[in-house]
């Protein structure tokens, strides 16, 4: 697995830390471990899925859904990052 540049040089976890382990856990079917490693993986996958659908379907409100989904993903990443830094 790849080392995190931010963690290596600044000794703090970044918002993406644990994303690889979360993805591997999800592929192995271990949903709870995936959430433990990085809870933002599932909203991120959902956001990318919406983006791909919008590319092909080109719905009128697709952009609004993508922005909303991205906001939820960013909020999840930020909340998890703050909780890791505090605890």
Q: How far apart are alpha carbons 85 and 68 in whole angstroms? A: 26
**Using alpha carbons only, what angle is made at residue 11 by residues 70 and 72, rounded to the nearest 5 degrees?**
10
Q: How far apart are alpha carbons 82 and 65 in whole angstroms? A: 26
Q: How far apart are alpha carbons 73 and 67 in whole angstroms? A: 10
pLDDT at residue 87 tops 80: no
pTM: 0.83
Report domain extents, the chain. 5-86
pLDDT recorded at residue 17: 86
pLDDT digits (tens, 9 = 90+) for 50-83: 999 999 999 999 999 999 999 999 999 999 989 8
pLDDT recorded at residue 30: 95
Cβ pair 82, 14 in contact under 8 A: no
**pLDDT over 90, % of the chain:** 71
pLDDT at residue 86 tops 90: no
Average per-residue pLDDT in the chain? 91
């Amino acid at each position: 697995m790849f080392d995190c540049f931010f963690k290596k040089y600044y000794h703090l976890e970044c918002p993406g830390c644990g994303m690889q382990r979360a993805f591997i856990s999800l592929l192995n079917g271990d949903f709870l471990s995936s959430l433990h490693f990085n809870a933002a993986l599932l909203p991120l996958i959902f956001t990318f899925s919406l983006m791909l659908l919008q590319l092909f379907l080109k719905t009128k409100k697709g952009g609004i859904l993508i922005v909303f989904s991205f906001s939820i993903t960013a909020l999840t990443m930020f909340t998890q990052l703050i909780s890791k830094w505090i605890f």
